[in-house]
Amino acid sequence: MKTITILGATGSIGINTLDVIKRHRQIYKVTALTANRQVDRMVSLCQEWSPRYAVMADAEAAERLEQRLKKLNVVVEVLSGIDGLTFVASLAEVDIVMAAIVGSAGLLPTLAAAQAGKRVLLANKEALVMSGQLFMDAVRINGAELLPIDSEHNAVFQCMPPRFKIPSSSHDELVGVSRILLSASGGPFRSYPIDQLDDVTPDQACAHPNWSMGRKISVDSATMMNKGLEVIEACWLFSLPPNRVDVLLHPQSVIHSLVEYVDGSVLAQLGNPDMRTPIAHALAWPERMSSGVPRLNLVEISRLDFEDVDFERFPCLKLAYDAMSAGGTTSTILNAANEIAVQAFLEERLRFSAIPKVIETTLSKFSGRAANSLEIILEDDARARELAKSVIRN
């Protein structure tokens, strides 16, 4: 029996993870589930899964959850706050941690899982973008296993040479790899008139043509900051510089990414756009198990299209490449400014087209420095948030 903590259990990745596990109850046992404020959803999950622990990041939500569970006679230990999250991410009795909290809130619990040497299934790309080297060092030093859940990185991992591991221990593991091509659907505004992007609403931005996801990542997909964060994530996961990680627009989202080799071979991973495939892959690796995803029907799909990315339409992608090249805490600042700008857009306090401007202005006012410690990373994250808020206010 393998035991699992699901950080972000009430979200899109969390629910998909539980859907996969439901098909393999004889192999996986849910030990802990976490959320932020969605008490109703957590009550149902506790009733269904009987975890040992349920954690709400929000203390008041934790109190409400505890009362509700007591009334229902559901015996679950309820914890709260960052201490509760890091506690269940590093429990001795847990083998696997699904890191699916959205945004920077996931950093400390995801890092705690790495430090505890767990198999970490990484959906929370923001944690890696914020802390890059520090996070990879924690994985390496503590013998954790890092498996990518982002469909693109999971696809790349599947197409890597058989001896490749994350983190790679030497460059020999990458011999023959010339570059990675991350697929991108282009989101809902791939061909939308640029001059009308000013007026798009949060609901329009969240209406992704191929994937059903949480609202933050949906907006990131619409600006293509999501792809930018993925470029940074790929550099860390696969030990490659940004000039060997390219982005390929592929509107159908059937090819999830590709690895190009020096002999001219290009390996790709294909599948229906459904997160249960990378989740099942990472849970079962190096074995395979069923995920509930329908078979890919290439005849029905009949054609696959590709385009270059237009950086003018998607300035966030260029900002992310530049941040990764700049190094240090520049990616932390980029991520923080993006989170603040996306939140303001979702709350209708900022226009869609102003998101990259807020990030660019924040980066121009605040230079990154060497990301030597967690303190420095958290300090620059907090300062970048304040700066981005002031940029939005003015």
Ligand X SMILES: NC(=O)c1ccc[n+]([C@@H]2O[C@H](COP(=O)([O-])OP(=O)(O)OC[C@H]3O[C@@H](n4cnc5c(N)ncnc54)[C@H](OP(=O)(O)O)[C@@H]3O)[C@@H](O)[C@H]2O)c1
Interface residue list for ligand X (CB under 6 A): 8-14, 35-38, 57, 100-102, 105, 123-126, 150, 211, 213-214, 216-217, 275
The least CB distance from residue 264 to ligand X, in Å, is 30
Q: Which letter, b or e, does each residue of 82-97 get, where b requires 16 or more Cβ atoms within 10 Å of its Cβ?
A: eebbbbbbbbeebbbb
Q: Which is nearer to ligand X, 161 or 202 (CB)?
A: 202
Q: To the nearest whole angstrom, how small is the minimum distance from the Cβ of residue 343 to ligand X? A: 11
- Residue with the shortest CB distance to ligand X: 11
Task: Note whether 64 and 39 are within 8 A (CB).
Answer: yes
Give the residue among 291, 283, 289, 293 at the shortest CA–CA distance from 149. 283
Closest to ligand X by CB, 85 or 197: 85
Cβ 213 to ligand X shortest distance, Å: 3
CB 117, CB 96: distance < 8 Å: no
Residue 226 CB, shortest distance to ligand X, in Å, is 7
The answer to whether 388 touches 358, Cβ cutoff 8 Å, is yes
Report the distance separating Cα 311 and Cα 247, nearest Å: 11
> Which CB sits closer to ligand X, 69 or 174?
69
Q: Which is nearer to ligand X, 148 or 173 (by Cβ)? A: 148
Tell me whether the omega of the peptide bond preceding residue 202 falls within 30 degrees of 0, making it cis: no
Compare residues 145 and 230 and give the one whose CB is closer to ligand X.
Answer: 230
We find the least distance from the C-beta atom of residue 178 to ligand X, in angstroms, to be 26
Q: Which residues contact 153 (CB under 8 A, 6 or more apart)?
A: 230, 233, 234, 237, 238, 257
Rounded to a whole number of angstroms, the minimum distance from the CB of residue 30 to ligand X is 14
Query: What is the spatial distance between Cα 292 and Cα 100, in angstroms, rounded to a whole number?
Result: 20
In DSSP terms, 248 is beta-bridged to 183
- Minimum CB distance to ligand X smaller for 52 or for 125: 125
